[in-house]
Amino acid sequence: MAGDKHLGEVSKIIMGQSPPGETYNEHGDGFPFFQGVADFGYRFPTPRVYCTAPSRLAKPGDILLSVRAPIGRVNIADRECAVGRGLCIIRAHNPEDTRYLEFALRAIESQWDAIEGSGSVFGNATRRDLEILPIPWPEEASQRYAIAHILGTLDDKIELNRRMSETLEAMARAIFKSWFLDFEPVRAKMEGRWRRGESLPGLPAHLYDLFPNRLVDSELGEIPEGWGVASLPELIEINPPRVLNKSEIAPYLDMANMPTRGHTPSEIIERAFGSGMRFMNGDTLVARITPCLENGKTAFVDFLQNGQIGWGSTEYIVLRPKPPLPEEFAYCLARSNVFREFAIQSMSGTSGRQRVQADSLSHFLLPRIPKPVAEAFGLAIRPLFMRSSAAVRESRALAALRDALLPKLISGELRVWDAEKFMKEGGYVDSDQ
């Protein structure tokens, strides 16, 4: 079994601090700031730089730990950054122990619960709480490194899948933007670029014939000749009816698990249906309330069984393209800047509780896309979504394996057999019972 050490014995603990005021932007020039919020991510204070002492800045690779409810969430800094008062920096005395320490902190959920339950109404972990926090600590360094290698390999593959999934989705959205927002195939024909063999996203040479060679004025601005203009409800169903009986157990997607990046939620649970929006495979979900809309919470539903109905927050808008538009069209549209800006500008309600009313989307205009172009778009992007979803499903399975191994390896219930050999040859996990 692993022995214990106090967190203060094996690491330096640096408590975060927040800037005066709450003035941030998401992509500014200010110093990167990592705050303990529901969605881990960088923000940029502007205009003042509030934390300049090098001793109070996280370095790349430092562990970032939430110290306000929910306490105990772990992330890793990928750049030099300041952290808010809801976080602290955990810097291992021995850098080679950083990854083991990361997993050890993830594994002690019951201790976080005890700290959170004994604090203020909001839950708070002090520096002293952290300094005396017991951490499972195998004396043999090789055992710590081997445990970190096993769990880290799974984490690395999950991260690789996430990046690949995002890349595939970015390719699909680039095709959408090229064809239906910028009308690049038409412009390429007008300028003769297609004859010179200049390729466009997702458009092999033989598909150029599907597009006209002229743009014409419309109430939407310039659009391809012959396409016309339509309102959103003419092309996409808004909140289509779905049948789910009261108290029926069904897949449930809560707002916390709605993705801000990528199209697939990280977690779906089973819950008795009460009150909420219902959806099925092929639907797109858009969060309509602030700040979730501004944060980009959007999902494409491809995680249900055939014929299955899921449900979620009443603060979702459900979109479903009408044939011949492919199902993925609504998701690409919902992720586009032009749609998001329209939706944000259409929000109404009291400060802090503003939301988009579904009927306000009836004023959003789109080009009326001919059937051959719509079908070609579906053929171009559907394989990208399928590969992206396969990567996400694999990551869920890997995460389940990692989460099952994590407490057993860290506690010593499972031992890495011959850890030094494992480090050289790939390793084995064996039970000590």
Q: How is 238-265 classified by DSSP, letter by letter?
A: ES------TT-EEEEE-GGGS-SSSSS-
| Per-residue pLDDT reduced to its tens digit, 46-97 | 434 444 455 667 888 999 888 887 788 888 887 777 777 778 899 999 999 9
Cα gap 148→143, rounded to integer Å: 9
Q: How is 61-101 classified by DSSP, letter by letter?
A: T-EEEE-BSSTT-EEE-SS-BEE-TTEEEEEESSGGGHHHH
Cα gap 311→242, rounded to integer Å: 9
Per the omega criterion (within 30 degrees of 0), is the bond before 70 cis? yes
Which residues are CB-contacts of 74 (< 8 A; sequence separation ≥ 6)?
A: 63, 64, 65, 66, 102, 105, 106
Q: What is the dihedral of CA 222, 226, 231, 232, to 10 degrees?
A: -90
Which residues are CB-contacts of 80 (< 8 A; sequence separation ≥ 6)?
A: 32, 57, 58, 59, 60
CB 431 within 8 A of CB 415: yes
| Residue 40: per-residue pLDDT | 46
Q: How many CB atoms lie within 10 A of CB 424?
A: 8
| Residue 418: per-residue pLDDT | 54
Q: What is the dihedral of CA 177, 180, 182, 188, to 10 degrees?
A: 110
The end-to-end CA distance of the chain, in Å, is 11
| Residue 43: per-residue pLDDT | 53
Q: Which residues of the chain have pLDDT under 70?
A: 1-2, 18-56, 116-123, 194-202, 352, 418-433
Q: What are phi and psi of 192, to 5 degrees?
A: 80, 10
The gap from C-alpha 163 to its chain's centroid, in whole angstroms, comes to: 11
CB 141 within 8 A of CB 96: yes
Cα gap 250→252, rounded to integer Å: 6
Max Cα–Cα distance, the chain, nearest Å? 76
CB 173 within 8 A of CB 336: yes
Task: Please report, as a single letter, which amino acid is at residue 333.
Answer: L
DSSP count for the chain of H helices, then E strands: 11, 24
| Residue 197: per-residue pLDDT | 53
Cα gap 280→257, rounded to integer Å: 17
| Residue 256: per-residue pLDDT | 87
Can you identify the CATH homologous superfamily of domain 233-367? DNA methylase specificity domains (3.90.220.20)
| Residue 196: per-residue pLDDT | 53
CATH 3.90.220.20 maps onto the chain at 3-137, 233-367
DSSP summary character for residue 27: S
Task: Please report, as a single letter, which amino acid is at residue 188.
Answer: A
Cα gap 337→341, rounded to integer Å: 6
CB 105 within 8 A of CB 87: no
Cα gap 332→231, rounded to integer Å: 17
- CATH of region 3-137, choose from 3.40.50.300, 1.10.15.40, 3.90.220.20, 3.10.20.600: 3.90.220.20
| Per-residue pLDDT reduced to its tens digit, 143-168 | 899 999 999 999 999 989 989 998 99
Cα gap 143→158, rounded to integer Å: 23
